[in-house]
Structure 1
Amino acid sequence: MSFHKHIASLLGGKLIAFNVKLSKALGDDIPGALFLGQLLYWWDKGNHQDKIWKTDNDFYEECGLTPKQCKRIRKKLIELGLIEVKKEGIPAKNYYYLKIEAISNLVCNGLTREDKRDSLVNTEGTDRTSPKGLTITKHTQKNTTKNNNIMSEPIKSGSDKSYEERVNDFFNRVKDEPFYKDWLEAFPDVCNDRELFKAKAWLLANKRKAKKDFKRFLYNWLSKAQDKFDRIRIAGRISGGAKEKIGGISREEIIEFRNKMKEIARKKRMEQEGGEYVAG
């Protein structure tokens, strides 16, 4: 037995993933980051788009937070406008309503502050070599402008904005864009706050794979998510290869309808962008 497996067997449970950036965004609050991280984890796993329920004992069992710590953290997150807590059910339980947009803004602002601190450390004329031998280049106006051009999005947003700020701006206004209504029709099961949050989180976590076109990236993300949702739904209703009907509609009819909706959304998107629509 390896040392890793031996330690895991002694612990008798899964290790909790800790996100240091979330802690920094909360003012270097490690317990707060654990608490909010658990809420986000179970929110992503849950069936409700906007709420989950958990007890103080759950937090103690999952990440060792005491009821006193939970009370302090709840108060802080409520004051920051990140969550709402309501007593529901019999017996009453704490239901946490996550303010996903506010949480996203908090994380983006934290990343922006971190980038600014890094730029202050690596000022012009302080080139140095890291322990691994990687040279840290100068931050000049030339390469800053170049990077901003590479990461530009279809809707112009000032070249002086950081990547995180531009991602944040795009997702803050995406629901108000004309094309979003078409997406609601084309992707009815996944065009929601949960998938928007996951797509935004991916962009922020994969800055090195930064996308030039946020709109196209999100369209492809929702398209794949809807396809996955349809496959899971159909697989759950079809067994042994026999064709069954879902709500009076066959599998083939569902696929045909989904393809038509995608074609409609694609046509409208091309018309809005001034391109020539080609069926297929």
Structure 2
Amino acid sequence: MNLVDFQSEVFDIIHTFSGQANKIVVNTVFIDLVDDLETGLFLSQLVYWSDRTTREDGYFYKTDSEWHEEIRISKYGVRKARKKLGEMSVLKTYVKKANGVPTVHYKLDKNRFFEIIISFLRNRKKESSKSKDGNCENELSLTDITADTTTNIDDDVDKHPLIDEKFQKSYQYLLQNNIPLSETALQDLGEFCDVLGSEMVLEAVDRAIDQNAKRWKYISGILSNWQKSNVKTMADVMQLDEAYKNQKGGGEHAARRRRNRGHYQTGRSYEEEVASRERNMPSYIKRV
């Protein structure tokens, strides 16, 4: 019997006797973030319920017994998690009667949680990149990395910083234009902000909107092209557009007003040409 078969058989036995194959699934990032298994489990479930509360103020209530039933942590574990997350300023609580019994009400501060998790992921990715590039004289152990990132998080909590202004500005602009980002895309956005700055990111977003291509893959393609072309300023972007226009015998296109921020630009840019080719490409060879 191989490992997969054995695991399946065990789960089948559990299901047969209990009527359900109870599993606790948690993203390990939550555990790494708080450096504690029980608090990580609690945080994962807190995120889950925060997304499902129907109250306008964002609160939901749950007893210690209900927490135990869901994630199998003790009352002490629940209280420890509340204290830890409260100190990190990601959790707000108050006690009020529910069903006639004094019960703790919970609310996840989503903005604060977002700031901390992104800061943590970016720090971890930078540490990982340094190790892979051989920039560290000594190989970092998992314990070293965890201790270092945990220290960074604690420093963030003490100072209550915002994520750097360039990232915050770019991210908010993407949200305003209803362009969702995955965890990987958020990390890529941070790197583009570091290298190119927020003005370039906003320009790429505008170009994507103009081409009816409101998706991160398209925007990151524009930014990657600028990065490969060693573009540093908006003047460099215009120069790159002009070079491409001249190469294509440009000048035939009428001037058009750019969206949102009131800039004017003439001709067809490299990104717009790529978008046009994508739209006209046969479906059986289109990129996915």
- RCO greater where, 1 or 2, for CA within 8 Å and sep 6 or more? 1
TM-score (norm 2): 0.48
Structure showing greater Rg:
2
